[in-house]
Structure 1
């Protein structure tokens, strides 16, 4: 059963085999959580939004055609959930905090010393990422943290592969500029 593609599993879910949704959840919870966490830097909000994404995938399963990639469809739903959060709250949950608060929200069960080291090492990056526009933070999250291919990112964002590469390059340049200015 694990050898089945995501598209095949989702088509079976669409046909009424709802128990297969658990397999998709197991496969994609972590990456979806990572995407939402890097967009919000808020653990609880990210966990809630992951649940909402899977609920919406189940609710709107009939909209999945199987022609495109499952991942693109899933991330489009996740982007819509983020947009809904912005509409409800006026901003992404958890964004625009100071670096120490962001680093405190890192998930995981590391020891206190390891957590402190990780907190200090990542604080500058989180601060710089937090200063990016939502669009630039999103494309860097998809390309660098989620390690999606530009073709997949293009499908998710509704742009060409080339446009995804250009946007990612520009976002990375902006991140470098922000980080460099912070170091001065």
Structure 2
């Protein structure tokens, strides 16, 4: 059974991970267990947001190069090490957008979104509502879309979301709720039109 490395890790897993972090701080060559644990998830995160899969591999490499170079700056805040890697990935992703002037994409075809079903697809045709939802998502501000992606697509806890973007857990809950309300407003506005 595969373990979701970001969502609700046990204290034992977090402690084991911190041992790996301490070892990597002492000797960056010992970063390998962290790399093995998080590489696939970081790559998947990047592929879902980039049009070019090959570029996603390049950006993932940059994420881990930066992580190894900056491991001495990492501080344990009681959340998985992956939260720190997500912040680096987000930064590298935005840097690649700036460099390539690429537009961000959200691929819904490969994402399971059961929690969206009741919000956006009640008693309607999925394909029609999916196109309306994508149009509504394009109207969201960058921060709002990021919160929705992290909560529903990446299935991060509010604590992990807060850690990833530098806000409190409660603030992450409030902002995510507001982003979802704004998305619903845009969606219903499109549907009514």
Q: TM-score, normalised by structure 1?
A: 0.70
Q: Deviations over 1:54-106 (max 9, x none)?
A: 1111121221233553122212211221232243234xx3426xx9xx568x5
Q: 1:95 to 1:61 in 2, by over 3 A?
A: same
Q: How many residues align?
A: 165
**What is the distance in 2 between the residues matched to 1:103 and 1:143?**
14
Partner of 1:12: 23
Match of residue 104 from structure 2: 95
Task: Measure how far apart 1:53 and its partner are.
Answer: 0.8
Specify every segment of 5 or more residues in structure 1 that has no aligned partner in the other structure, as ranges: 108-117
Please tell me whether the aligned partners of residues 87 and 165 of structure 2 are also in contact (alpha carbons under 8 angstroms): yes
Alignment of 1:6-155 (within 5 A): 6-16=17-27, 18-21=29-32, 23-40=33-50, 42-69=52-79, 70-90=81-101, 93-95=102-104, 123-155=131-163
What is the alpha-carbon distance in structure 1 between the residues aligned to residue 163 and residue 108 of structure 2?
31
Which stretches of structure 1, 4 residues or longer, exceed 6 Å deviation after superposition? Answer: 118-121
CA–CA distance in structure 2, aligned partners of residues 166 and 119 of structure 1: 30
| Cα RMSD, aligned residues only | 3.3
Q: 1:50 to 1:128 in 2, by over 3 A?
A: farther
1:38/1:141 contact within 8 Å kept: no
Q: Which is worse superposed, 53-62 or 65-74?
A: 65-74
